[in-house]
Structure 1
Amino acid sequence: MSGSIDQSLAKAVEEIQILVSGDGARLDVIEPSHEKELRFALDLTEIGCADCLLPAPKLAEIATSSVRRHTGDSDYTVVIVDPREDA
């Protein structure tokens, strides 16, 4: 991966973190299943209202758009593992 893509991904991840941190959540990077995938575990331990946060599919849609916009690569996808879906 080139340095400019790394920087672009870092900017996208920062943007995604800002999106969820306002509600007290955090996204932890986990191992992707393939090269053009970013996987995050949604950490809700510091959140006051888990139901106030967007559902994982919507967060993943927004995050995927951010990654694609920052990298210029429409092949990237984002997966968010949400503990609310296990409940």
Structure 2
Amino acid sequence: MKIKFSALIIVAILCSCINDDDDDVTQATLEGDWKLVQMSGSIPDSETTGSDMEWQESYRFFEDGNFLKTRETEESVVELTGTYRFNDDQGSLELT
């Protein structure tokens, strides 16, 4: 499974964690729990948020480069695992 997040999301992640040890140095960290809060598609007005989404999805990123994805629907809960890699050149996050 490969997913590429937009550069805007990556910029938000990069700017979200400041290292107090170095003045004005931004450190990227993905470790921890992340929740999908909005989905949109290529069809106009196809944006859905929160409980209106067809499923709820969360990601847990680990320091060792692994992640756990959990997708909850009315019928089931599915968990998947994989690895992640941040691509500085493309400004993207690749989940495999």
Asked if TM exceeds 0.5, the reply is no
Greater CA radius of gyration, 1 or 2? 2
Taking structure 1 as the reference length, the TM-score comes to 0.29
Question: Higher RCO, 1 or 2 (CA under 8 Å, sep at least 6)?
Answer: 1
